[in-house]
Amino acid sequence: MIDCNFIPKAYHDKRVVRRAVRRRSACAGIMFLMMIVWVGAHEHQVGVAEAMLADVTAQKQQLGLMVTERSHMEEEQARLRDQVELIEKLSNRAGLIVVLSDLSRCVPESVLITECSIKASVLDPYLAEVELPATAAKGRDARDVLAAPGVPVPGERLLVRGIALSSGAIIEFARNVDKSGLFANEYTETSDAVIWGDRRAEYSFEMTCDLLPHKKNPS
């Protein structure tokens, strides 16, 4: 049997060309759509990466602030630790209430204390409470006992500044301090008249002495 094709050859060629154009147009459209989707996804990833980078930068800045704050806290902790050790040392060696009470008892009426401070080294090797030898109770001077071999020198130093109406009042004050059982190695310096609090005083003085360890009554 012989097949007869009544479609003109020119028309058949045009249909083939149209189909090829349609296929190529569809492929181009699909590729263009894929490119649009890829660009959108890439921009989204870039935005996420920039947000993460900004977050990391903020975290680094916060970490730097935290490190700075930590160093400040460590310095403050060290300072507070030194203060606690100093307080414990003074508490073990000499009761401040007892010392100040005895010091006020030694002050004559014509003497005014303008400054009183206690200096002590936290790194003093004799942090433990020191007991004076029994010879101190036999009338020996406390400075002789402290100067004896094997007896550590107290680490606390009392500084007292004040004014007085006469040199005799300063001498009396120094004598009372020297007689007290809480102080040793007393040294006093005097100067001429000064103005303090809009008032004139005949003499000013500066006294330094060591604080002797003593037993405190248990509370």
Condensed to tens digits (0 to 9), the pLDDT of residues 157-206 reads 889 988 888 888 888 999 898 888 788 888 888 887 777 666 677 788 89
Domain of 56, in residue numbers: 7-93
Predicted confidence at residue 6, as pLDDT, reads: 67
Among 74, 93, 112, which residue terminates a domain? 93
141 and 152 co-located in one domain? yes
Predicted confidence at residue 121, as pLDDT, reads: 55
For residue 216, being part of any structural domain is answered with no
For the question of whether the overall pTM of this predicted structure is more than 0.85, the answer is no
83 and 101 co-located in one domain? no
49 and 66 co-located in one domain? yes
User: Is the pLDDT confidence value at 1 over 60?
Assistant: no
User: Is the pLDDT confidence value at 151 over 60?
Assistant: no
For residue 22, being part of any structural domain is answered with yes
For residue 217, being part of any structural domain is answered with no
User: Is the pLDDT confidence value at 147 over 90?
Assistant: no
81 and 101 co-located in one domain? no
Among 93, 125, 160, which residue terminates a domain? 93
Residues 3-47: tens digit of each pLDDT: 666 667 777 788 888 888 888 899 999 999 999 999 988 888 998
For residue 87, being part of any structural domain is answered with yes
For residue 188, being part of any structural domain is answered with yes
Residue 205 CB-density burial (10 A; 0-12 exposed, 13-18 middle, 19+ buried): buried
Residues 92-122: tens digit of each pLDDT: 556 677 788 888 889 988 888 888 888 765 4
111 and 191 co-located in one domain? yes
> What is the identity of the amino acid at 9?
K
Domain total for the chain? 2
110 and 159 co-located in one domain? yes
Predicted confidence at residue 67, as pLDDT, reads: 92
113 and 47 co-located in one domain? no
106 and 146 co-located in one domain? yes
Predicted confidence at residue 78, as pLDDT, reads: 92
CATH label of the domain that carries residue 131: 3.30.70
89 and 108 co-located in one domain? no
Least confident of 77-81, 134-138, 182-186, 206-210: 134-138
What stretches of the chain adopt beta strand conformation (E)?
Answer: 111-120, 156-164, 183-191, 194-196, 199-201, 203-211
For residue 176, being part of any structural domain is answered with yes
126 and 188 co-located in one domain? yes
* Nearby residues of 188 by Cβ (< 8 Å), 6 or more positions away: 170, 174, 205, 206, 207
User: Is the pLDDT confidence value at 63 over 70?
Assistant: yes
Mean pLDDT score of the chain: 76
Among 69, 93, 117, which residue terminates a domain? 93
Q: What does the alpha-carbon distance between residue 169 and residue 157 come to, in Å, rounded to a whole number?
A: 23
Orientation angle between helical segments 96-106 and 167-179, nearest 10 degrees: 140
Query: Are 107 and 173 in contact, with CB atoms under 8 Å apart?
Result: yes
134 and 193 co-located in one domain? yes
For residue 2, being part of any structural domain is answered with no
For residue 184, being part of any structural domain is answered with yes
The percentage of residues in the chain with a pLDDT greater than 90, rounded to a whole number, is 21
71 and 23 co-located in one domain? yes
- Neighbour tally for 196: CB within 10 Å: 12
Predicted confidence at residue 140, as pLDDT, reads: 42
Q: What does the alpha-carbon distance between residue 47 and residue 52 come to, in Å, rounded to a whole number?
A: 9
The percentage of residues in the chain with a pLDDT greater than 70, rounded to a whole number, is 72
User: Is the pLDDT confidence value at 88 over 90?
Assistant: no
Q: Which residue has the higher pLDDT, 36 or 125?
A: 36
Q: What does the alpha-carbon distance between residue 55 and residue 50 come to, in Å, rounded to a whole number?
A: 8
